[in-house]
Structure 1
Amino acid sequence: MATDYDAPRRRADDDIETDSLEGLKAAEKAETAVDDTDDGEIVEPFDVPMADLSGEELSGTVTPRQSDEFTCSECFLVQHRSHIAKTFSDSEIICQDCD
């Protein structure tokens, strides 16, 4: 027997006539129940990456911007002057990444 692979596939549920009241009742009975209950697996708690760190004290060395560096007006990162893409004024400099 030849099989038409381009024809839409039909399920057994599609054969039930749902145009009539009897067909709808039969379709209700044919539906399988979904079990949404917990499977009982214990899951370890995890820390959310964006957790509140307001109580934490950070320590590090902050170096001021050097004379050969600029602050990009788009991404606000301090970069070396060799990465300048556009200069609109002294206060508006855009780096190559943001260009």
Structure 2
Amino acid sequence: MSKAMASDYDEVRPDVKESQESSLEALRTENIPDARSVVRELEEADTVDGVNLPGDYIAEELIVEVVPQKEDEFLCSSCFLVQHRSQLAQEKDAHAYCIECEG
């Protein structure tokens, strides 16, 4: 009976280790920008001076007419939409829920 040598399963295999080292060396030799230059580029990109946004800018005020809730309507406590009473599914603890939210 021959004795087998104990294997260290946590040790990296030689072929994998060589591949990792060559990959690491390739990353080191690449022309990778440093963190300061990346931050500088991002800050320059954030400035809006001289940037023309697509489309026309219209300086008009939006006017919306607010209609108060009617007696035959309720506010759903889940989706927060004003619904007609025919859409009421459940009222619980002074909260009303519509069919869509309870369905």
- In the superposition, the TM-score normalised over structure 2's length comes to 0.42
Structure 1 or 2: larger helix share?
2
